[in-house]
Amino acid sequence: MSAVQDINFASHGLSARQMAFYRFRRNPLAVIGALIVLSVIFAALLAPWIAPSPESAGSFVDFRNRHSPPSWDNLMGTDNVGRDVLSRVLFGYRISLGLVVGVLGVAVPLGVVLGLMAGYFGGWTETIIMRFTDIMLALPPLAMALAITAVLSPNLINAMIAITLLWWTWHTRLIYRIVKAQMNEDYIEAARVAGASHIHILFRELLPNCVSAVAVKISLDAGFVILFGAALSFLGLGVQPPTPDLGTMVATGSEYLPEMWWQAVMPGLAILYAILGFNLLGDGLRDMLDVEL
Amino acid sequence: MTPLLDIHDLCIGFRAYGQHRRILHNVNLHVNEGERVSLIGQSGSGKTVTMRSIIGTLPMPPGQIEQGSITYDGRSLLDLNKRDRNQLKGSGISIVLQDPMLSFNPVLTIGRQMDDIIRFGDIRTGRSRRIQDRHAHMIDTLQKVQLKDGERVLNSYPMMLSGGMRQRVLIAMALLNKPRLLVADEPGTALDVTTQAEILALLNRLVTNEGLSLLLITHNLGVVREMADRVYVMERGHIVETGTRDQIFAAPKHAYTKKLMAAVPPLYGASVKTTHHEGLKPIVTLQSVTKDFETRSGWLNRVSGRFRAVDDVSLTVRQGDIFGIAGESGSGKTTLAKTIMGLIKPSAGEVLIDGRPLDGFAGSQEFRKHIQIVYQNPGSSLNPRRTIAQQLSVPLKFTGSDSAAIGGRIRDLLELVDLPQSYANMYPHELSGGQKQRVAIARALSVNPRILVLDEPTSALDVLVQSTVIDLLHRLRREFDLTYIFISHDLSLMRNFCNRAAIMWRGKVVETGQISEIFDHPSHPYTRALLSAIPVISAEEDALKPSITKEERAAVLATSTQLEDT
């Protein structure tokens, strides 16, 4: 099998990076995903400058203009107090991406380190870490998040903490499995024979072999974190008004369905757009880096 | 007479990553009815692509047949429609794959997998047979590959069979639909040499008895000599030489063929190079070393049995020796190597390095400056995600060198193993197998050890690359006054490389001494069985091989035709 497919193109002057980039470019969906993600990131960063009505992000009210349908003045219409929905969506992306960075910024390093340790040390370390992970995975995530935020008082930071507490487990399992497979390779023993420390083997030998899988997982995760955050906000346990959050907007807008549909549908589509982008990008990265999740 | 299989002017190219590369260049090859033909070439020469284009499993794209034709029995294979071509599978052309483990589905019984082959063969040819008939046919076919215990084999799962039996079953599977041409891809090379000899003998007998034609694809010249009427030599997609077996072996014409022949280490005869030198004081001493492994199973992982991997081994390696440890898989040679490296603690007995016991010494910085190891497969012993320089720096970093000294040392090391400096920033996959093994040797040498344990350092390499690595090892030994412990199953190589050796069999050392003594006057029947099974490339060597009686052979070798009673 491999003999035919592993024909060595490296000798033609293509580096591994060039070959991976070639695979990525040849995958139109991945490129579309990357463009969507970039547009979301730009929208979030530049919201104060590109939003048609930046004051709509706050507790601004304009009752003369409330419930106006999409028009050239308000591309996504206005909400129940007359704020521009498009502006609020752009600012809403700031909250969503902030949530993604906050959650994954803590959950991924934590999960990766625990996974590396469980796979490498084995024995009791493995039993304790992996059984605890199993217990965490056995809890229904949304119910857990609801319980945590309800106890801690509902706001963005607490929602972030709740999601983080649930999220690291997936990375632990992923890394654990990769490390277990790598432990059979001679380079681990070779490093031991060379006198390498545990820290060296964990972070210099094993971690580089996990990076591509983690990159793909992060990209696929980002969409789910946005969705999860929006779900919490929708239930009133996440971001509180008047801060513009996509989940909260869907919740408030849903009271005016179906006549004034744009108030719920537009933020809903915005969530869909971002998640679609991250998922397409994640799938593209998976093909490009050739990892199994 | 028209040949059974005729490949005419075949050119195959591959297109990937926007680049095009031609893999086969105007290949001409034919197999006559009842003839045994060998296609020989090193890895990457295009022999697998040739085979897959014959059986129709070449991935297209990226593969592309650019020119030429393949004719089987007067019909052009490349022009046949899918249905007609499928009909030839198994009943016209059949294949025996290389790896007897990977070729089976581990969760289905052998019987089920064989039955599938018959049923799908029947469907293609529009027949239908009752299950009893199919069963009888399977038992018959297993008889042909000398598996008398057919009923039990059919009810077994692949993991219950030994490697040799699996290879036999694979051959039986290829025979199920009565093919006329058998294509064998490196048959038996994944097995021990004694088992390989049995498999080759079996194939030879089948070709005669069943009136088959054989196309054998291999890299092993010794196998070709025993298995072929006619030979094709392939180099980088070109057939560079063809002729009858005797022509090729007696008077090779093409430079590449000659180079290939010269690179095969001779087992006997005038061209054998004997390494004459006497070691000085003892540097590694093993005193009745025994290692038991516990097998655990059942509830709470209780110890359920013991397996003795190394059994009361005493050896002395002297400074300057190239000490060979030979044996087949499972003989305990790798366990012994790991015990010497201090990676496995012996259950009984003692290992002394330079007169010092391993307890408290193994794993220390000083110990690492005494002894280092080179692994069998550089693909596994080098970290795929770290640059060559990063990997070479590890032993240095952990013996207290500072970063400036490390940089200089890496440059020296690359020079030492004849690799260009630019390789420092490359990743392992950008290097060839031989180059990777050079990096592994450089890494082992980085802290100036006095002893190197070489665990089959060339078995993953082609024979031409092997000889350059062996030359490198010779040079390094002279330059740095090294002692080698060379673990291998390749006795021909050991004969030419080592000055002393030990033969291991089922955990015991059955024979030890000067290399020429062991080879010229083998005393233990196992040594004789091993030596007589090695395929060699000249009649002269064949004549000098020790002879062994059937009874002696049966006493030391497990047969690959019967299931063990468990």
Q: How far apart are CA B340 and CA B285, in angstroms?
A: 9
In the A/B pair of chains, how many CB contacts fall below 8 A?
A: 89
Q: How far apart are CA A84 and CA A76, in angstroms?
A: 7
User: With an 8 Å Cβ cutoff, are B395 and A194 in contact?
Assistant: yes
Chain B: closest CA distance from residue A119 (Å): 17
Q: How far is CA B27 from its chain centroid?
A: 27
Of all residues in chain A, the percent with pLDDT exceeding 90 is 31
| Backbone angle region of B188, left / alpha / beta, with phi > 0 → left and psi within -120 to 50 → alpha | left
Answer whether B533's CB lies under 8 Å from B197's CB.
Answer: yes
Tens of pLDDT, residue by residue over B132-145, are 888 988 998 888 88
Q: Is A149 exposed, middle or buried (0-12, 13-18, 19+ CB in 10 A)?
A: buried
Q: Which of B19, B59, B375 sits opposite A5 (nearest CB)?
A: B59
Chain B: closest CA distance from residue A211 (Å): 10
What was the pLDDT predicted at B566?
41
Can you tell me the mean pLDDT for B384-393? Answer: 91
Give me the amino acid identity at B355: G
Give SS3 for A156. helix
Average pLDDT over chain B, rounded to whole? 86
Testing the interface with A: which of B12, B17, B344, B445 to mutate, by most A Cβ within 10 A? B17
Out of B157-166, B364-373, B422-431, which region has the weakest mean confidence (pLDDT)? B157-166
Most confident by average pLDDT, A61-65, B237-241, B534-538, B558-562:
B237-241
Which tokens in the block code for residue B265?
Answer: 């280490």
Q: How far apart are CA B283 and CA B354, in angstroms?
A: 5
Coarse DSSP helix, strand, coil percentages of chain B, rounded to the nearest 5 percent: 40, 25, 35
Out of A12-26, A86-100, B242-256, which region has the weakest mean confidence (pLDDT)? A12-26
A224, containing H or E segment: helix A211-234
Of all residues in chain B, the percent with pLDDT exceeding 90 is 18
- Chain B residues in contact with A18 (beta carbon < 8 A): 17
Q: Which of B52, B372, B386 sits opposite A193 (nearest CB)?
A: B372
Testing the interface with A: which of B42, B186, B335, B394 to mutate, by most A Cβ within 10 A? B394
B544, containing H or E segment: helix B539-544
Provide the H-helix boundaries in B145-192.
150-154, 163-175
Torsions phi, psi of A25, nearest 5? -65, -30
What was the pLDDT predicted at B325?
93
Which tokens in the block code for residue B35?
Answer: 């003839």
Out of A38-47, A64-73, A217-226, B377-386, which region has the weakest mean confidence (pLDDT)? A64-73
Of all residues in chain B, the percent with pLDDT exceeding 70 is 98
A110 or A65: which leads in pLDDT: A110
User: With an 8 Å Cβ cutoff, are A195 and B373 in contact?
Assistant: no
Can you tell me the mean pLDDT for B123-127? Answer: 79
CB atoms within 10 A of CB B19: 12
What was the pLDDT predicted at A1?
31
- Chain B residues in contact with A22 (beta carbon < 8 A): 17-18
Out of A11-25, B14-28, B308-322, which region has the weakest mean confidence (pLDDT)? A11-25
Answer whether B216's CB lies under 8 Å from B187's CB.
Answer: yes
Q: How far apart are CA B437 and CA B428, in angstroms?
A: 10
Residue spans of beta strands (DSSP E) within B238-385: 238-244, 282-297, 302-318, 322-326, 348-353, 356-357, 371-374
Using CA atoms of B47, B49, B55, B57 in order, give the dihedral in degrees to the nearest 10: 150
Nearest Cα residue to B153 out of B174, B138, B132: B138
Torsions phi, psi of B509, nearest 5? -90, 115
Residue of A nearest to B426 (CA): A15
Nearest Cα residue to B133 out of B113, B123, B145, B119: B119
Q: How far apart are CA B144 and CA B141, in angstroms?
A: 5
User: With an 8 Å Cβ cutoff, are B14 and A7 in contact?
Assistant: yes
Out of A165-169, B31-35, B58-62, which region has the weakest mean confidence (pLDDT)? B58-62
Which tokens in the block code for residue B121?
Answer: 């063969």
The DSSP-derived string for B187-209 is: TTTTS-HHHHHHHHHHHHHHHHH
Answer whether B341's CB lies under 8 Å from B373's CB.
Answer: yes
Q: How far apart are CA B211 and CA B214, in angstroms?
A: 10
Torsions phi, psi of B96, nearest 5? -110, 115
Average pLDDT over chain A, rounded to whole? 84
User: Does the pLDDT at position B395 exceed 80?
Assistant: yes
Question: pLDDT band at B558, cuts 50/70/90?
Answer: low
Most confident by average pLDDT, A101-115, A228-242, B122-136:
A101-115
What was the pLDDT predicted at A166?
86
Most confident by average pLDDT, B74-78, B327-331, B413-417:
B413-417
Most confident by average pLDDT, A49-53, A130-134, B13-17:
A130-134
**Torsion A189-A194-A198-A202 (CA) sign:** negative
A54 or B212: which leads in pLDDT: B212
Q: How far apart are CA B558 and CA B546, in angstroms?
A: 20
- Paired residues of B316 in beta bridges: B285
**Torsion A72-A76-A77-A83 (CA) sign:** negative
What was the pLDDT predicted at A205?
92
What was the pLDDT predicted at B85?
78
Can you tell me the mean pLDDT for B508-536? Answer: 89
- Chain B residues in contact with A205 (beta carbon < 8 A): 383, 386
Nearest Cα residue to B142 out of B114, B97, B172, B171: B172
Q: Which of A8, A189, A195 sits opposite B368 (nearest CB)?
A: A195
Can you tell me the mean pLDDT for A261-280? Answer: 90
What was the pLDDT predicted at B483?
93
Can you tell me the mean pLDDT for B138-160? Answer: 86
Can you tell me the mean pLDDT for B503-512? Answer: 90
Q: Which of A12, A19, A195 sits opposite B21 (nearest CB)?
A: A12
A3 or B439: which leads in pLDDT: B439
- Please work out, in degrees rounded to the nearest 5, the angle formed at the alpha carbon of residue B126 by the alpha carbons of B123 and B131: 60
What was the pLDDT predicted at A5?
37
User: With an 8 Å Cβ cutoff, are A7 and B23 in contact?
Assistant: yes
Question: pLDDT band at A114, cuts 50/70/90?
Answer: very high
- Chain B residues in contact with A208 (beta carbon < 8 A): 383, 385-386
Answer whether B564's CB lies under 8 Å from B540's CB.
Answer: no
Give me the amino acid identity at B294: E
User: Does the pLDDT at position A2 exceed 70?
Assistant: no
Which tokens in the block code for residue A269?
Answer: 């589509």
Question: pLDDT band at A6, cuts 50/70/90?
Answer: very low
A188 or B18: which leads in pLDDT: A188
DSSP A78: B
- Chain B residues in contact with A8 (beta carbon < 8 A): 44
User: Does the pLDDT at position A113 exceed 90?
Assistant: yes
Q: Which of A16, A190, A209 sits opposite B381 (nearest CB)?
A: A190
Q: How far apart are CA A186 and CA A121, in angstroms?
A: 16
Question: pLDDT band at B560, cuts 50/70/90?
Answer: low
- Chain A residues in contact with B443 (beta carbon < 8 A): 190, 194
Tens of pLDDT, residue by residue over B430-488, are 888 889 999 999 999 998 999 999 998 888 888 888 889 999 999 999 999 999 999 98
Question: pLDDT band at B332, cuts 50/70/90?
Answer: confident
Question: pLDDT band at A10, cuts 50/70/90?
Answer: very low
Torsions phi, psi of B254, nearest 5? -75, 145
The residues on A that touch B, with CB distances below 8 Å, are 3-5, 7-10, 12, 14-16, 18-19, 22, 185-187, 189-197, 200, 204-205, 208-209, 211
Model-level pTM? 0.83
